Amino acid sequence: MAALATLDDLRARLSADLPIADEARAEAILEDVSAAVRSATGQTVTGASPTARLRVRLGVVRLPQRTASAVSAVVDIDGDAVTYTWDGLQRLTGIRAPVAVVDVTYTHSQSAETLAAVAGIVATVAARAYGRGPEAGAMTGETMGGYSYSVDTSAASGGFGLLAAERRTLRRVLGVSNAGSFGIGFA
């Protein structure tokens, strides 16, 4: 999948120029952060039309990707059409027993504002990672003479990590309840 932010998004957040020789590394960082954001949120973020096999619970199916804009097909595991009511958001209701599993084809996409917020977070995390190589992993502070500084443990995760405010923003803009913490190093 494509990165959720561009090199231009990253350049806008760096305090120095991004040398052409570092563009491949920067793109890899953007892709790594994007993959981690998708994994932490369970959302692909960019629009798509997946077919998902989902379990029916008490006659209800919840679509895993936000924000659904259309449901084009609901079939049981034998390929037979299933009667349902879509709430226009994320739930299909009225699915009757004995149907326990359905394949749902639907379309989902995010607003321009949501995509911009996600791109901003991805580029910010990538900028932080770009400035901290893997040798800085697990370093939370440093003192030289009378000068000292420290960083949050997520920022000291080496490659990158989501800070609490970034996790909260992702949960809010993507409408998910649990965007977890993660840290991944890279060379």
Do the Cβ atoms of 54 and 102 come closer than 8 Å? yes
Query: Is a pLDDT exceeding 50 seen at residue 65?
Result: yes
Do the Cβ atoms of 51 and 184 come closer than 8 Å? no
| pLDDT, tens digit, 9 for 90 and up, residues 46-62 | 888 889 999 999 999 99
Averaged pLDDT for residues 19-29: 93
Distances (CA, A) of 161 to 52, 108, 124, 154: 29, 27, 11, 5
Every domain of the chain and the residues it spans:
7-45+111-140+154-184, 51-108
Comparison of pLDDT for 187 and 168, the residue scoring more: 168
CA proximity to 37, closest of 159, 152, 127, 121: 121
| pLDDT, tens digit, 9 for 90 and up, residues 154-183 | 554 445 678 888 988 998 888 886 544 443
Cβ neighbours for 63, distance < 8 A, ≥ 6 positions apart: 52, 54, 71, 90, 91, 92, 104, 106, 108
Cβ neighbours for 74, distance < 8 A, ≥ 6 positions apart: 61, 81, 82, 84, 92, 95, 102, 103, 104, 105
Q: How far is it, in rounded angstroms, from Cα 178 to Cα 187? A: 29
Q: Please, what is the Cα angle at 126 between 48 and 157, to 5 degrees?
A: 115
Highest-confidence segment of 42-46, 90-94, 110-114, 161-165: 90-94
The per-residue pLDDT for 176 is 82
Q: pTM, whole model, 2 decimals? A: 0.72
Q: Which helix (H) or strand (E) holds 52?
A: strand 51-55
The per-residue pLDDT for 144 is 82
